[in-house]
Amino acid sequence: MSDLAIGFIALGLMLGFIYFGMHIGVALIVTSFVGVSLIRSPEIGARFAAAAANDAIRDYLFGVVPLFVLMGMLVSVSGVGRDTFDVFQWLMRKIRGGLGLATVGANAVFAAITGISIASASVFTKVAVPEMIRMGYNARFAVGVVAGSSVLGMLIPPSLLMIIYGVLAEESIGRMFIAGLIPGLLLATGFCVLIVAMAYVAPHKVGKPEALIDVPSSETLFSATKKFLPIASLVVLVLGGLYGGLFTPTEAGAVGAAGAFVIALARGTLTWRKLWAVLTETGYVSVSVLFLILAAMLYSRMLALTGMPGFVTQTITELGLGPWGFLILYIAIVIALGCIIDSVSIMLIMLPIVLPVAKAFGMDIVWFGVLTVVAVEIGLLTPPFGVSAYTVKSALNDPRIGIKDIFAGTFPFVLAMLAVLAILAAFPGLSTWLARMN
């Protein structure tokens, strides 16, 4: 049996294991070990796995994962999500569909310090949805806005998916963070345009006419500034230091975690019990991510040993699809996979195979990464998997709003993401301009 045939068999086994419920990391490690053992020997397979584990996460760079996760967890328990929403509600009170715009704006700011879409979905489900329903907005629209805008957490830096992509593509995580800023703001703008358009064109799908404008707010300029100052200071500290070249991504994570800790202490929301919960949850998330990175490194090396990436590159080139044909096919596959498996799994499975093809076509790897993250994020909103939709359902705990309502509410945001994805594909400079300047 040829090495290439073993590679395809290993890939098929891995997909089969995942389909029958095996954890993605375990499936990657098992199939990689089996593949190397068949190509060489079980002894070499064991050494191969040990070497990959040793090389995968010993780098200082990987400290960025627990530090940014810790920062996001501390911010979540500090209550600044509520304050951020209040401030944007006050700012948008005179605009048609203002509460929807406030949710998107608050999610965009919250994304700049969490990096995890699920955290945003959980926080704003409890903060924004009850307020929107109370003010007369449709429940389906309210949950759709929260779930839809939560995806900004994986694009606006710091982003967990950008970290994983940077590791797999051997690209600077700092450059990936910077590259995600303009696309993230563009996506947030697209969501805002969508909400305003719906409020004018199809107001019955948004809420009662009297609820769409002039939403009452008790905020003043002074109170809004006081509420927004802590979160704004943290964003400026972390992203300003990162973009200004003062911090490496790992140092920015450490500074951000320290800043979030100070904010939580100053607000009096951080009890010993909550601190312990934050630390343990940070450990769970970080270990899970680092384990997946380790498994992906082993899987990538096994595929390289079989020669599969080179074979795929040659085959696609001979098919005459060209770079745009390949890109359209790749994005279509990623979006389809998003309906059945999670974002991280898609990247771990696909990137070791397609990155050599993208490089062979001369594509900018940073731009390719931004497109990948946006395409993968669409899967958070599509049935039947839709992690963000299920997170909203779990956090809301309202039997009157079913999972079908949430998926129906997110559908317009999926269309907006597809439109933004097309714009980013057509204009690569939107993703690479800031990264090249830095």
Beta-carbon contacts of residue 23 (< 8 Å; ≥ 6 apart): none
For residues 369 and 238, the model is more confident at 369
Instruction: Give the integer Cα–Cα distance in Å for 417 and 431.
Output: 15
Whether residue 182 contacts residue 433, with contact meaning beta carbons closer than 8 Å, is answered with yes
The string of pLDDT tens digits covering residues 121-167 is 777 787 788 888 877 888 888 888 988 888 887 888 878 888 889 88
Mean pLDDT in residue range 265-283:
83
Instruction: Give the integer Cα–Cα distance in Å for 131 and 347.
Output: 36
For residues 267 and 378, the model is more confident at 378
Whether residue 155 contacts residue 184, with contact meaning beta carbons closer than 8 Å, is answered with yes
Output the pTM of the full model.
0.83
Q: What separation in angstroms does the CA of 315 have from each of 73, 296, 321, 359?
A: 45, 24, 10, 15
**pLDDT beyond 90 at 240:** no
Beta-carbon contacts of residue 423 (< 8 Å; ≥ 6 apart): 186, 430
What does the pLDDT read at residue 215? 63
For residues 409 and 342, the model is more confident at 409
pLDDT above 70 coverage of the chain, percent? 92
Mean pLDDT in residue range 233-257:
81
Instruction: Give the integer Cα–Cα distance in Å for 192 and 213.
Output: 15
Q: What separation in angstroms does the CA of 250 have from each of 167, 180, 254?
A: 14, 17, 6
Whether residue 334 contacts residue 31, with contact meaning beta carbons closer than 8 Å, is answered with no
**188's tokens:** 């947030």
Mean pLDDT in residue range 10-22:
79
The string of pLDDT tens digits covering residues 77-136 is 777 777 787 888 788 877 888 888 888 988 888 777 776 777 677 777 877 888 888 778
**pLDDT beyond 90 at 187:** yes
On the 0-12 / 13-18 / 19+ scale of CB atoms within 10 A, 202 is exposed
Whether residue 427 contacts residue 406, with contact meaning beta carbons closer than 8 Å, is answered with no
Mean pLDDT in residue range 285-302:
78
What does the pLDDT read at residue 24? 77
**pLDDT beyond 90 at 421:** yes
Q: Would you give the distance in Å from CA 92 to the centre of its chain? A: 26
For all residues of the chain together, what is the average pLDDT?
Answer: 82
**75's tokens:** 């911010």
